[in-house]
Chains A and B, each alone.
Chain A
Amino acid sequence: MKKIITGFIFLSGIISLGLVSCQKGNLLSNPNSASSSTTVPASLLLNRITNEMYYGGGVIDGVAGNQNEGPWNQIMRWNQFFVSSYPYYWGNNAYTWSNTATQFPMLKYVNLLTAQVQSQYGTTPNPYAALAKFFTAYSFIWYTQRVGDIPMSQAGNPSLYPTPKYDLQHDVYKNSLALLDTANTLMGALAANSANTNALVDPVGDIFGLTYLQWQKVINTYRLRVLISLSRRAVDNADLNIPTQFAMIYNTPAKYPIMASNSDNLAYHYLSSPAKDNYPLFPNYTPYIGYENMCNTFINVTAGNNDPRTFIAATPAPAQIAAGKQISDFTAYVGADIGLSYSQITVNNSGGEYSYNNYLRYYGTASGPNVSGSTCEPYILIGYPEMCFNIAEAANLGWIPGVSGSTWYTNGILASMNWLGLKDGATVAVGLPIFQPTNFSNVLGNVTVNVTNFMNQPNIVYAGDNATGLKQIFTQKYVAFWQNSGWEAYYNWRRTGVPTMSQGGTGIGTPNLQIPIRWQYPVDEQTYNTTNWQAAVGSQFGGTDAVTSTMWLIK
């Protein structure tokens, strides 16, 4: 008996060895990722931020209401560049947007970057501190121009402000402009060092691949965009000093360098590898080319003005070619009215009435459209052509004493042409998709471009610093936004009404068939920040958070 008990205890002891040999140490932390207290190189955070900027607010995190800002996405239909004639493959044309996404994810990474930079760099000057100011301003402006008042002073600090209060849109702009000024000062100090001036800021973190000086130019060029976007509030908000700030930047290039050519563009370059960085239309959408047509809002101002950029964007309508028109005949290019119902667009499309997108250019290569073998159409986020038109507008409005809009208007058009590879004597291959393209050789022929003739047309020649000239600036700026600069075409239309976008048709899809002029606040603000949200909606829109309400910015 005793032996048995001894045996039992002995065996229990052996098994208890299993208990002793159990796993020790920190089992709580995830061994597959880096904890928040880890040192993370600033490059990796900047990399995330620059990607955030390319994709658009909330896109990487997939938050509700996000829209990809690259070319050929939904927003480019809302810019009325092209229309979908088959929603299953290309999505809806309708403007049935409701609650917005935000660009606060960018602010989150800016905050993380700032903390990492403080612990890693201390007081050593570094470009990240300057870029952090720029991206902070960028993220707030991104959001405020969509909705109105937004949290700024208390945003991005959940432990201190779990329910951030809203700041007036006016104050958001004021503070953001100040941030941009600081960003220029910080970056300027670094760029002034000749070792830096033409050196890349960060080849790993900055996916746009710009130098110190170029980033400084981006900061100031962006500031010009912000200032001009406030044109409706320039007069009645003297405290913002909008025209004077504009003039100061324009007149002080040593302190505020701005872009000098397309090579200064903040642009995203597509790659042939890895595949996910291919141009968005390559190669998957090739079979669906027949389901996408040009929008007449765009075609009316290009083909209608004999603009060679028509050939870059579109193919002639099959019915027009069948009727015997030449491919160089601008009247052969016809866009669809986005206000029509799908039913109508589909039927008209199957009748060959509409132009398609230029598939030779946009579907054929992994790294993006090219002319004569050189990659020349990366996606512009903030670009030189737009800047030219912004200056032209400011000049036209008299913001820059002694400067006329004329030169900058011309500069803008030529920069846009140049960006697309268009100059006198250049040839553009024009194709026409058949329904089963077997390859990309369905070339109808070549068109020879004449930019000079285009520029010399009476309605293109700048009419002077008057209302007509202003409208010309807006129109040419719209064309220069073709498949780039995100929402800018829409925002400029909202501010200026140029060009005349299609409204009133069933295809618009909203109850009043008009294009919305703002977004509703995110549902999470409504649910989890109710008091502040209600106060903001109450003070701005009489309590209704509607897409038809007019915010301070565009009143």
Chain B
Amino acid sequence: MIMVLLGCLFSGSSVFAQTRTIVGRVTSPDGNPIQGANIQEKGTQNVTASDAAGNYAIKLSSANSILVVSTVGFGTQELPVGKEGRVNMVLAPTNRQLDEVVVTALGIKKEARRIGYAVQTIKGSELTAAREPDVFNNLEGKVSGLTIGVSPELFSRPMIVNRGTKDMLIVVDGVPVNSDTWNINGDDVESMSVLKGPNAAALYGFRGQNGAIVITTKKGSRDAKGWQINLNTSNMLEKGFLIYPKDQTEYGRGTKFQYSFGEGLDDHTQRLPTWGPRADNQPVLQYNSPYDVTTGVRTPTPYKSIGANNYKNFLADGFLSSTNLSLSSSGTNSDVRMSYSHVYQKGTDPNTKVNMDVLNINTDYSINNRLKFEANINMDVQYTPNLPDANYGPNSYVYMFNVYGNSEYNVKDLANYYKAPMGIPGLRQYAENYGRSNNPYFMAQQWLRGHYKTDIYGYIKLDYNITKDLTAFVRTQFTGWSQERGEKVPAGTILNQYLPWYYWGWYGDYREDRRSLLENNTDFLISYNKDFTQGWHLNANLGASERSFRYSSFYGTTVDMAVPGVYSLSNSQTPSLAFNWTSNMQVYSGYYTADFGYKNYFNLSTTGRIDNLSTLPSGYNTFFYPSVALSSSLGDYLKLPSAITYLKLRASWAQVKGGQTTSQAPSAYALANGYFQGSGVTTGSLLGYGTESFTSYDGPTYNNQNQYTLTTYYNNLPSVAYSTTIANPKLKPFDVTSYEAGADIRLFHNRVGLDATYFITNNGPQEFGLGVPSSTTFGYENVNGIVTQKKGWELTLNATPVKSRDFSWDMTINWSTYVEKLKSIYGDLTEIQLGSNHLYHVGERVDDFYSTGFVTDGKGDIVNSGGGPLSSPGGIANNVYLGHLNPDFTFGFNNRIAYKSFSVSFQFDGRVGGKIYDDVWYHADNGGTAIETDKGAFKTARASEWESTNDGVAAIAPAYIAPGVMITGGTPTYANGQITNLKNIAFAPNNVPTTVQNYFSSSLGSNFDQYYMISRTFVKLREVQLAYAIPTKLLGKSGFKSATFALVGRNLLYFAKRKDFDIDQYASGTNVSNAGVAQYGTSGDVTLSSPSFRRFGFNLNVGF
């Protein structure tokens, strides 16, 4: 196929060969190619860009053309073209950075000096060497204020957090796309601009309230040949744990030091933690002890610790391969770029993988100097027959190995998962602990979760230059996706208590989750751009758009399959269940921008937008919001000390309004879940396990309506649930207001640069479900209330400590911090319960976390009662402050050291401060599996207790004496979870022994969240690249124009106090600032997660 494509290109180039073409190479003074330089024939629409090797080609319309070359960091240069066909350009880094161009809202390119708000741009080439399966993961540490929570799970969406808010808008070539992050192929990205505040995104409307990532894709480029091919491939192995919870290997499965496999052939009722006997070679009935089929007798075998590395032995090396082939070409009137990528990822869990193909075609055609068509289409297909799941449940390996794992079996013995006589092919597993967990190989090969998704976005656009200063375009874009997920639950699967209809002889289930979304954005824009001779300039745009949105989802499940192995919704013993959920939305918008300035003294930029939104009640559904930004490039008109090369100050104010939409897709799955959990108890849920897939949405919530939801509570009889929130027909749109000020300073001829931003964002009044007294019989009423205020700093420091002809060292440090506090509530309320744990007062941080804590004696010693820590009386007032959940600051530290054709780059990044709940630790302690349960005083006590049982026969003599004191006199009174009458209470050192199992599972249990709150601080060595760019002269006439080879590594080192789960994935502690998606005062969505791996490999980038 490639040959066919090449053939087309060659023939294409011959067609265009008749016009005059200039080719050449753009380099920096040190000879490095400059990619993405914009090259334009002055006064015409002829424009191109240099490729990765710095090569360009441009068609010229006149004999005496002047080429205007501009690129980020190198300013603009003009070069007259003579008769020669080749013009090489060496661009000197500009001293004043005046002409740096940034892509802003609506895809409008602006000079950096004229921008009054915070934007940070990353070049695509920085994202495509040390690959991540998702290109957004590569942004972590590279932009101040932007945090990417990289998930350790295969094909799991990263958590993107900007200034503490999630769900940024993604814009490709000026149009918002509604898709998941996987959809963007890094090889097609020219640059990513992160617009951090609503200032920058005001023009995208409410979808841009949390900032936007504006992606510019690569366009066709020219070469002497008229075409160019680029190949970029990365292949990386995932090997070696970066983060892995440590387990004890001394004690086996069981409880109270007792364990025995059932005497029968199979024993599927065991659900026991790892508090069993010590493996002392004593005879124990085990799953693989010899079993006599005729007598039905199982003979005990010695109990030994033989599987210390079971989890590691079960896992395999992962592999990530990403290859992109792009062809670009241009003719007199046209540019075209075609790109194809294939990403293959093999998971570290056996039999898991993801394939992804991305096609991107970008083309434009100029009918004449005035009229140009432009079209782009991007199609992404993701397909996998099986994705793993990680959470607290029997569907998860981390649950099986780290929470309830023991070492008294060898996982390899289970590879034949239908091994007779216990196993029956297709019906019953050969399993070590059938009843609590499944045979992991059975899970890997039989319990499959498929994912098939197609994402498409594309647009067609017509540009019209009415006059030299006045242009217009009209554009229509479609963005949409359809996803199908299926879960095949085979016969004999152990679902623990999560699926209550499990019984012996159960033939499995099949579930299907289908969702699709289609959105059309049609807009037009008229632009007037004029540089007046007196130094005044004006740029004005007037536009309008229509957004039409439709979403639908379906969820179906069998209720016990009638025949095993046939995964069809009609294969159900009792009628299968089906749910659907749909939504529609329509948004009309009109907007303007006007930039007005005088020389470099100032630039005043104003925007305004009016939205008509179908999700809001009539009379409140049309609203306006503006923004203003001011910037001034002081160095251009003031005499500054010579050390200061450049100084720009900026300030801005912006507002965004919107309402009753959400970024996360409501789904039929969730509906089904609610339908069954409506019974009020979890046993009703057929879906109480598994992670719901996240899909992008940005559509209606329907949360402001008094409505009956259909449901059932008993015997499948129809029933209803009425809204618990009182709808408000006069609900106004929410309001986000942001103030921002910043400075951009460059010193010592650009050797040092500092970009600093200070922002204040008032989030609110939100559309908020304010509590009402329960005596009204409702829970909430929608009001315009609750304002939180974020204040924060973002700093980016660039420096070039060393720079010589052959050797250079560049570094960038990104640093950011913010604090969000409750500013006002509603009316004269001064406190409000957010979440279930705390009454927050005006002025308090909203990420302050309150929960169950220890009672102390006033001197720091824990008060015990009956052998374990004493609980305070409970209730919201007795919850203890356990720290704040958001980090104090986040940072990224990037370095690039180059010597001739070699370069080394590496990045450290991390987050410092704050607390997080360690769910892995909690569950593993409770299960008796964590190494801590067999260390220090616990180890001594556990051994003593084991010996006291005389091989499990006698009663345990408790041997663990918890540190701290106990009460020997007086009755305590409490406030805020602590004793208030300490002087009336007599304490003595605790002397009540308890068992280790009892201490962890009963006393600590889930009663003291304080114990499992750990520091959120971590630092990662995120990536290392060792690259060699083969010098052009060596390439000679090889046919290659450029070639770079790099050894790359990702996630190489991790520094944190506890290394049992990857803190990285939890990019934010709270999510308060997303209107309507508040998650207050909880430990967040922290759950069990898989270990994470290091990744090594190579990258090859070839241009020819």
Contacts and interface: CB of A to CB of B under 8 A. Distances in A.
Q: Are both chains from one complex? A: yes
B539 to A, nearest CB: 22
B476 A278 contact: no
Contacts of B994: 341-343
Interface in B693-708: 700, 702, 705-708
Interface stretch (B54-62, B225-233, B406-414, B769-777): B769-777
A443 interface: no
A325 to B, nearest CB: 18
A55 B269 contact: no
A164 B714 contact: no
Interface in B359-416: 367-368, 370-371
A27 B584 contact: yes
B990 to A, nearest CB: 11
B876 A524 contact: no
A522 interface: yes
Contact of A40 (B615, B708, B866): B708
Contacts of B559: 274
A511 B873 contact: yes
B871 interface: yes
B702 A87 contact: no
Contacts of A8: 371, 462, 464, 472, 474
Tell me what chain A mostly uses at the interface: helix, strand, loop, or mixed: loop
Contacts of A156: 775-777
B680 A55 contact: yes
Interface in B971-1011: 971-974, 992-995, 997-999, 1001-1003, 1005-1007
A359 to B, nearest CB: 11
Contact of B270 (A31, A284, A436): A436
Interface in A506-539: 506-507, 509-513, 520, 522-525, 527-529
A304 interface: no
A343 B995 contact: yes
A250 interface: no
Interface stretch (B110-118, B161-169, B720-728, B907-915): B720-728
A29 interface: yes
A506 B708 contact: no
A343 B956 CA distance: 11
Contacts of B974: 511
A112 interface: yes
Contact of A343 (B615, B723, B998, B1006): B998
Contacts of A94: 871
Contact of A32 (B614, B702, B770): B702
Contact of A31 (B582, B671, B771, B775): B582
Interface in B255-282: 255-256, 258, 260-264, 267, 269-272
A286 B584 contact: no
Contacts of A33: 702, 705, 707-710
Contacts of A527: 771, 829, 831-833, 839
Contacts of B683: 275-276, 278, 280, 284
B868 A278 contact: no
A252 interface: no
B522 interface: yes
Contact of A276 (B368, B472, B684, B997): B684
A47 interface: yes
Interface stretch (B1-9, B340-348, B495-503, B747-755): B495-503
B583 A18 contact: no
Nearest to A157: B776
A108 B994 CA distance: 48
B681 A109 contact: no
Given A18-B522, A87-B1002, A88-B1002, A276 B679 contact: yes
Contacts of A112: 722
Contacts of A31: 582-584
Interface footprint category on B: 35 or more
A54 B614 CA distance: 41
B255 A290 contact: yes
Interface in A325-346: 340-344, 346
B1042 interface: no
Interface in A147-183: 150-151, 154-158, 161-164
Given A350-B256, A436-B261, A511 B972 contact: yes
Contacts of A523: 833, 839, 876
Interface in A317-372: 340-344, 346-347, 350-352
Contacts of B877: 98
A28 B771 contact: no
A238 interface: no
B583 A346 contact: no
B1001 A87 contact: yes
Nearest to B580: A32
A528 B722 CA distance: 22
B679 A524 contact: no
Given A278-B500, A342-B1003, A48 B713 contact: yes
A406 B577 CA distance: 55
B715 A207 contact: yes
Interface in B830-874: 831-833, 836, 839, 865-868, 871, 873-874
A164 B776 contact: yes
Interface in A1-59: 4, 7-8, 11-12, 15, 18-19, 22-23, 27-36, 38, 40, 43-45, 47-48, 51, 54-55, 59
A385 to B, nearest CB: 24
A87 B869 CA distance: 14
B956 A350 contact: yes
B780 to A, nearest CB: 9
A509 B871 contact: yes
B564 interface: no
A343 B1001 contact: no
Interface of B: 254-256, 258, 260-264, 267, 269-272, 367-368, 370-371, 435-436, 462, 464, 472, 474-476, 496-497, 499-503, 520, 522, 524, 546, 548, 550, 559, 574, 580-586, 614-618, 671, 676, 678-681, 683-686, 700, 702, 705-710, 713-724, 726, 770-779, 781, 829, 831-833, 836, 839, 865-868, 871, 873-878, 926, 955-956, 958, 971-974, 992-995, 997-999, 1001-1003, 1005-1007
Given A23-B550, A47-B718, A280-B683, 7 more contacts: A34-B707, A44-B720, A60-B713, A60-B721, A98-B875, A278-B500, A438-B269
12 contacts: A4-B370, A30-B700, A44-B720, A63-B779, A98-B875, A150-B775, A158-B777, A204-B717, A284-B683, A290-B255, A347-B956, A525-B774
User: When A and B form their complex, which 8 residue pairs have the shortest distance between CB atoms, in order from nearest?
Assistant: A341-B866, A98-B875, A276-B684, A351-B955, A284-B497, A30-B702, A343-B867, A108-B777
